[in-house]
Amino acid sequence: MTEEETPPKQPRRPRSTGPLRGSLLHLDSRGRARMVDVGGKAATRRRAVARGKVRLNAAAFGALASGKLSKGDALAVARLAGILAAKKTSEIVPLAHPISLDAVSVECELVASTREVVVTATTSTAARTGVEMEALTAVAGACLALYDMAKALDRSIEIREIVLLEKTGGRSGPFRR
């Protein structure tokens, strides 16, 4: 085989040996993804709140605000989609643990000045791992449902700023944005 016929070597992934190794819990000793073992942790009360925004054009926002979208009550659909998304988090996020949720609430606030729907999700449980991913997934699901309900009037809808606002419980302690 000539040099031109030799297949290119696959680049090797660098192995991390730096200070982050211990803090990247989703990596095993060889740098491969794994689910974190939470079996030795105590179950504690945990709560998380996340938020996202859906920005619409004037026609779509007006139809949504007046309840005149052709697909029906978009805000009710978004709330239900968010709750369902939270319950399905471990099926969507590969390394998330399946957990039993004690409560999920999804609120949608219309802000006329910016033509936005502010979606806020709150999740809670008593478990060995947190509910941040469930809150964030609830917001994403609700925002996507709003997009789906209004896309006939606005293909430029923006889903923005999905963030964790706060979390409580667990070893790492509270967080507030």
Q: For residue range 15-38, what is the model confidence (pLDDT) as tens digits? A: 444 444 445 566 667 777 776 767
Report whether pLDDT(128) > 90.
Answer: no
DSSP reduced 3-state for 45: strand
The model's pLDDT over 40-85, given as tens digits with 9 standing for 90+, comes to 677 889 999 999 999 999 999 999 999 999 999 999 999 999 999 9
Q: How far apart are CA 166 and CA 177, in angstroms?
A: 6
- Give the HSE-up count for residue 74: Cα atoms under 13 Å, Cβ half-sphere: 28
- Active-site residue (options: 37, 102, 148, 154): 148
Question: Is 148 marked active-site?
Answer: yes
Instruction: Give the residue with greater pLDDT, 2 vs 92.
Output: 92
CA distances, 106 to each of 2, 15, 26, 98 (Å)? 63, 41, 29, 20
DSSP 27: B
* Largest interatomic CA distance in the chain: 71
Domain ranges of the chain: 44-176
Q: CATH classification of 44-176, choosing from 3.40.50.720, 3.20.20.210, 1.10.3720.10, 3.30.70.640?
A: 3.30.70.640
